[in-house]
Amino acid sequence: MNKITVEAAQPYDVLIGDGLLEQCGRLIRQACSAARKVLIVSDTNVAPLYMDTVKSSLEGEGFIVSEYIFPAGEEEKNISSVAGMWSEMAREGFTRTDIVAALGGGVTGDMGGFAAATFLRGIRVVQISTSLLSMVDASVGGKTGIDLPQGKNLVGAFCQPALVIEDTGCLRSLSTEHFTEGMAEVIKYAFIMDGTLFRILSSRAESGSAGSLQTDAEALTDIVCRCVRDKAMIIAQDEHDNGIRQILNYGHTIGHVIERDSNYSLSHGVCVAKGMGIIIRACRRSGSLESKSADMMTELIRAYNLPTEDKITPEQAAEGARNDKKKRGDTISVILVNKIGSAEICRMSTEELLEFLKT
Ligand code: GLY
Residue 263 confidence (pLDDT): 87
> Residue 143 C-alpha to ligand 1 middle, in angstroms?
7
Pick the CATH number of 2-173 from 3.20.20.150, 3.40.50.1970, 3.40.50.170, 2.70.150.10: 3.40.50.1970
Class of domain 176-216+241-358: mainly alpha
Of all protein residues, the one whose alpha carbon is nearest to atom 3 of ligand 1 is: 248
> Residue 208 C-alpha to ligand 1 middle, in angstroms?
30
> Residue 235 C-alpha to ligand 1 middle, in angstroms?
9
> Residue 354 C-alpha to ligand 1 middle, in angstroms?
24
Q: Is the CB of 142 under 6 A from ligand 1?
A: no
Q: Is the CB of 259 under 6 A from ligand 1?
A: no
Residue 359 confidence (pLDDT): 79
Return the domain boundaries, the chain: 2-173, 176-216+241-358
Residues of the chain predicted below pLDDT 50 = none
Tell me, yes or no, if the two domains 2-173 and 176-216+241-358 fold the same way.
no
Q: Is the CB of 248 under 6 A from ligand 1?
A: yes
**What are the pLDDT digits (tens) for 300-335?**
999 999 999 999 999 999 998 887 766 677 899 999
Q: Is the CB of 137 under 6 A from ligand 1?
A: yes
> Residue 61 C-alpha to ligand 1 middle, in angstroms?
32
Which ligand 1 atom lies nearest to the CA of residue 245?
Answer: 5
Residue 152 confidence (pLDDT): 81
Residue 128 confidence (pLDDT): 98
3-class DSSP string for the chain: CEEEEECCCCCEEEEEECCCHHHHHHHHHHHCCCCCEEEEEEECCCHHHHHHHHHHHHHHCCCEEEEEEECCCHHHCCHHHHHHHHHHHHHCCCCCCCEEEEEECHHHHHHHHHHHHHHHHCCEEEEEECCHHHHHHHCCCCEEEEEECCEEEEEEEECCCCEEEEEHHHHHHCCHHHHHHHHHHHHHHHHHCCHHHHHHHHHHHHCCCHHHHHHCHHHHHHHHHHHHHHHHHHHHHCCCCCCHHHHHHCCHHHHHHHHHHCCCCCCHHHHHHHHHHHHHHHHHHHCCCCHHHHHHHHHHHHHCCCCCCCCCCHHHHHHHHCCCCCCECCEEEEEEEEECCEEEEEEEEHHHHHHHHHC
Which ligand 1 atom lies nearest to the CA of residue 138?
Answer: 1
